[in-house]
Chain A
Amino acid sequence: MSAATLSSRSSRRPRAIEAGLLWHQIRYEQLSFWRNTQNAVFTFAFPVVFMTVLGFLMRGGTASSYFYGRTPVAYYMPTIAALSVIGTCYGQLAVVLAMRRQDGILKRVRATPLPAGLYFLGLLAHCLVVAVTDVALIIGIGALFGAPLPAHWMALAVTLAVGAACFCGLGVAVASLVRNAEAAPAVVQLVLFPLLFLSGTYLPIHSAALNSVAGMLPIRPFNQALLAALTGPGLDWTHLAVLAGWGIVGAVVGVRRFRWNPRPE
């Protein structure tokens, strides 16, 4: 078997083929997700129920400095939207990956020629679809309770894309670090829960010290960037840059530490 023959069959493929393969993968990830009806319903029910409850509690509230000059519903709309994106891209992705690894499904994916990058892009696209649907539902419900429609659609799209990618990266990183699937939900919650409070998701924080700390961590920048996109002033480059930084950290840890095999070397 001559080396020349083999190197001519190198693994570089035309872009059209790779794009087709990515589309193939996205389609089947989606199909698999929607077929698990119970999971799909609850994925969307959570933010819908949460936003509706908050809407009933807070409707008619007037704009105040406590909510940074916004009405309560207008404040909670972006933070709950952020929460749902984080839940899907970070929380669910980490748990799903840890489970797929433990069940030996990732090992089987690795046994096929599907490039790892395309597998992860397929998951990212899936998370993005779910995140966009979640955010659309929350904006719709917010509008029912008197919140204004998004002021900057382009800023919203960019913020969502950066946020989803960032939290997917962190989700993959956590999935790479946890040892077994049973521990994954607990690890995810442990990191998430205090950070959500600290970042003003449930109540606005008016401590400059706390905010400067939270501003370095991923959740508050996402809240602030979504707030800016939904109710002005628009694109919030500073916070998006922090998000992108965290996304890169997550992706690097994920790529370095990711295991396909359920049993460690």
Chain B
Amino acid sequence: MRRELTLPAPGPAGAGRPGQAGPSPAVPPPALTADGLRKSYGQVQAVREVSFTVQPGEIFALLGPNGAGKTTTLEILEGFRTADAGRVAVLGIDPADRARGREFREQIGVVLQDIAVEPYLTVRETIARNAGYYPRPRDVDEVIGLAGLTGLERRKVRKLSGGQKRRLDLALGVVGGPRLLFLDEPTTGFDPAARQEAWATIRALRDAGTTILLTTHYMEEAQELADRVAVMARGRIVAQGPPDRIGGRDTALTRISFALPDGCPAADLPPGVTGLAAADDGLVTVDAAEPTAVLHQLTGWALGRGTVLRQLTVERPSLEDIYLRLTAPDRAAGQEGSTR
């Protein structure tokens, strides 16, 4: 499916309303600030201490296992729930401030986790209806193209597939031309091709100036899309930063692994390698802070012996490795609570 992915900037963000600039125009105020959020449901502390900021134009991903408090955090920021404690500013507005609720919702877009759209209207009618709620909506046809719903305009919503309904949900989230878009697990249940398309859409929105806060279970998604990520576990943020650096990923040891050549005991490896090596089932792994010298020794040794190093790989820890390490205590303690 061919799609036009260059978007005009949504009115409020691109136009830069006059008088909006703060005291220091060089550093724009954060699009979103959460400071010391707490929320309990009865005895369950869903959110214990959550603080982060999202800069304008950034894609920020909240990662975490089920029950970590991602959705509760998102719902506080979206104005659906009020925090027990803490301070929230989304586009300079407190989402719990009812007096400014309308002004707030005119500037945000929300795509919730569960699919829910009224069944009897067509795709086009549903989008046109929601467009009418906003002062400066995007063009309905542009939104249909953006969400990949071209050709389905006249189809009744109840006849759409699950993935198509999800795309309609996304269309409804962006039709108002939001400055900030909340996406709660936007690609859960998508096949790989659909996921790639959704990622392209999300990037196009960011490129048009939309700030995006998303939650996801997929490390690949966070790695592909996010400028910064925060890992949540048991109601707290346990690490945050760019996906390439989070949890010390950039300074973590590099892992070199290879199969031991046939008939060669591990003791025969060059001295600079043996000290770091761990052999297991014929596969040797070497964790090196500085892999250049180790690799040089290793490959020199192999060439000198006239052998090859089968299955040779050099890798830094993936985001998933870091994520699993960060959330390990949580899994050990057993998962608590459900997705809320």
Chain A positions within 8 Å of B, measured between CB atoms, are 1-2, 4-6, 9-11, 21, 24-25, 28, 31-32, 35-36, 100, 103-105, 107-108, 110-115, 260-261, 263, 265
Minimum Cβ distance to chain B for residue A75 (Å): 38
User: B185 contacts the other chain (Cβ, under 8 Å)?
Assistant: no
B112 within 8 A of A: yes
Q: Could you tell me the distance between the alpha carbons of A190 and B60 in the complex, rounded to whole angstroms?
A: 50
Quick check: A114 and B80 within 8 Å, CB to CB? no
| A2:B116 contact, CB within 8 angstroms | no
Instruction: Give the residues in chain A near B100, CB-CB below 8 Å.
Output: 6, 11
Q: Which residues of B contact A103 (CB under 8 A)?
A: 116
Return the 4 tightest CB-CB contacts between A and B, nearest first.
A104-B116, A35-B120, A111-B110, A11-B102
Q: A11-B103, A21-B133, A31-B125 are in contact. Are A6 and B340 (CB under 8 A)?
A: no
Inter-chain contact B105/A5, CB cutoff 8 Å: no
B120 cross-chain contacts in A, Cβ below 8 A: 32, 35-36
| B176 interface neighbour in A1, A110, A113, A265, Cβ under 8 Å | A113
Chain A residues in 8 Å Cβ range of B20: 1, 5
Q: How far is the CA of A112 from the CA of B48 in the complex (A)?
A: 29
Q: Does B322 contact A (CB under 8 A)?
A: no
Distance in angstroms from A174 CB to nearest chain B CB is: 21
Within 8 A of A (CB), among B84-120: 92-93, 99-103, 105-106, 108, 110, 112, 114, 116-120
B110 touches A24 (CB 8 A): no
Asked if B305 lies at the interface with its beta carbon under 8 angstroms from chain A, I say no
Task: Annotate B119-144 by CB proximity to A: 1 below 8 A, 0 otherwise.
Answer: 11100010001101111000000000
**Contact between chains at A112 and B118 (CB < 8 Å):** no
B92: chain A residues at CB < 8 Å are 1, 6
A10-B80 in contact given A104-B114, A111-B112 (Cβ < 8 Å) = no
Say yes or no for B78: interface residue by CB 8 A criterion.
yes
On chain A, the residues within 8 Å of B99 by CB distance are 11
Separation of A112 and B110 alpha carbons in the complex (Å):
8
Given A1-B29, A113-B135, A115-B102: 4 more A-B contacts, CB < 8 Å: A5-B17, A28-B121, A36-B120, A103-B116
For B172, give its contact among A4, A100, A108 (CB under 8 Å). Answer: A108
Q: B132 contacts A21, CB within 8 Å?
A: yes
Q: How far is the CA of A100 from the CA of B93 in the complex (A)?
A: 28
The winner among A25, A36, A104, A108 for most chain B CB atoms within 10 A is: A108
Give min CB distance, A146 to chain B, whole Å: 39
Which residues of chain B are within 8 angstroms of A36 by Cβ–Cβ distance?
119-120
Given A35, A104, A111, which contacts B78 in the complex, CB threshold below 8 Å?
A111
